[in-house]
Amino acid sequence: MAPLLGHYQTFFTASAGASAAILGLLVVAVSVVNTDDADAKTRERRTVLAGSAFLTLVDAFFVSLVALTGGATIFGTANLVMAMFGLLATTRLIARANRAGNFSRGFPTRTLNITFASISAGGYSTQLGLAIALLADTRSSGLQRALVLVIVGLFGSALGRAWVVTGIQRRRLPEAVDGPHRSSEET
């Protein structure tokens, strides 16, 4: 491994494992939240957002896994391929989100949806540019470090999207909806 990339071996190992685990949890979470909603448009909106989170986690997984095989050239190439794949898939997801109404005026999370789409396009574009630069200068520790930080950003982005997909911030405990239940001892 290149000197600097060798310093990140533990990070890449943890990143590959964490992204795989979160991918599994995301699939389960989407399955669960989509079963409790009969509205097809809401399910489609969640599916698009979950697809975006899934995509960022797949990127982090493959880049981290491939980086463990060694060298700045391999690391740069993995980032290049995944960035191109990410840009292509994001373009398709943005079109699908638009058809689902995620960007419609008056939609409650319109600003958040536009922010997520912008972060995706910008993140993959940044990853692509840094990957090309690293392939041109494989000895650059700054470029290697920047691409490692892209992986950290991918995790943050994916976790934010997964949080929104699950609807945790909108869900309440049954007693919060129905009011507190009194036991016979309290009355």
pLDDT attached to residue 66? 94
pLDDT attached to residue 177? 46
pLDDT in tens, 92-109: 999 988 888 888 898 887
Task: Report the chain's terminal Cα–Cα distance, integer Å.
Answer: 70
pLDDT in tens, 13-43: 999 999 999 988 888 877 777 676 667 777 7
pLDDT attached to residue 42? 74
* Residue numbers in the chain where pLDDT is lower than 50: 1-2, 171-173, 176-179, 181-187
- Domains of the chain, residue spans: 3-168
pLDDT attached to residue 32? 76
Q: What is the DSSP string of the chain?
A: --HHHHHTHHHHHHHHHHHHHHHHHHHHHHHHHHHT---HHHHHHHHHHHHHHHHHHHHHHHHHHHHTT--HHHHHHHHHHHHHHHHHHHHHHHHHHHHHTTT-TT-TTHHHHHHHHHHHHHHHHHHHHHHHHHHH-TT-HHHHHHHHHHHHHHHHHHHHHHHHHHTGGG---HHHHH-PPPPTTT-
d(CA 62, CA 86): 12
pLDDT attached to residue 154? 92
* C-alpha distances in Å from residue 14, one per residue of 1, 10, 131: 17, 6, 21
pLDDT attached to residue 121? 94
pLDDT attached to residue 170? 54
pLDDT attached to residue 4? 55
pLDDT attached to residue 118? 93
